[in-house]
Each structure stands twice: as C-alpha cells, then as structure tokens.
Amino acid sequence: MRRSRFSEERTIGILREHEAGAAAPELSRRHGISDATFYEWKAKYGGMDVSDAKRLKGLEDENRQLKTLLAEAMLDNAALKDLLGKNG
C-alpha cells in the first residue's frame, strides 16, 4: 500500500484551515494537492481530531490484518476439504 506524504496531523491541519475560511482551491494549490484529494480528505477526516484519525488508522490496520487471517483460514479449510474428499 502506498504511503501518503502527509501525516494525519498535517491533513487535519489543512482541513482546519478550510474550516477557518480558506478556499479549497487555494489550500490545494498552497499545499500541492489536487482538489479531489482535498475533498477525499474532507470526506474521510472532516470533523475529526488528530487522536480520532490515529484511532481510525489503527482500526483500519487491525481490520486489514483480520481480513488476511480470515482469507488464510478459508484457504486452509478448502485445502482440508479437498484432501478429505479425495481420501473418502
């Protein structure tokens, strides 16, 4: 997965500037991001504090790990069913 060059703190700081009255196109130009990226951040992080964003990132990482474990368990289960089916 590609790592962002902006930390959660910086992203939320940019969004706070927008809440304070700065225009979105001006912020995008000043920070070197596209308007689409700005609005994606706004949809994902809008109204969050830095601690909330860090918690969200931690939960997303945990969810990714759990999905990987589930996929591995399902593969093992399918392999065992095939093995038992051939022996029976």
- Contact between 13 and 3 under an 8 Å Cβ cutoff? The reply is no
Do the domain assignments include residue 3? Answer: no
Residue 15: Cβ-neighbour burial (10 angstroms; 0-12, 13-18, 19+):
buried
Do the domain assignments include residue 59? Answer: yes
Tokens representing residue 64 in the block: 């990714």
Do the domain assignments include residue 56? Answer: yes
2-45: pLDDT as tens digits = 677 888 899 999 999 999 999 999 999 999 999 999 999 999 99
Do the domain assignments include residue 77? Answer: yes
> Residue 18 sits in which domain range?
8-87
Q: Given this model, what pLDDT does residue 21 score? A: 93
Higher pLDDT: 48 or 2? It is: 48
Count how many Cα atoms sit within 13 Å of the Cα of residue 1 in the half-sphere of its side chain.
Answer: 5
Do the domain assignments include residue 23? Answer: yes
Whole-model pTM: value is 0.67
Tokens representing residue 9 in the block: 């703190």
Return the DSSP state at 22.
-
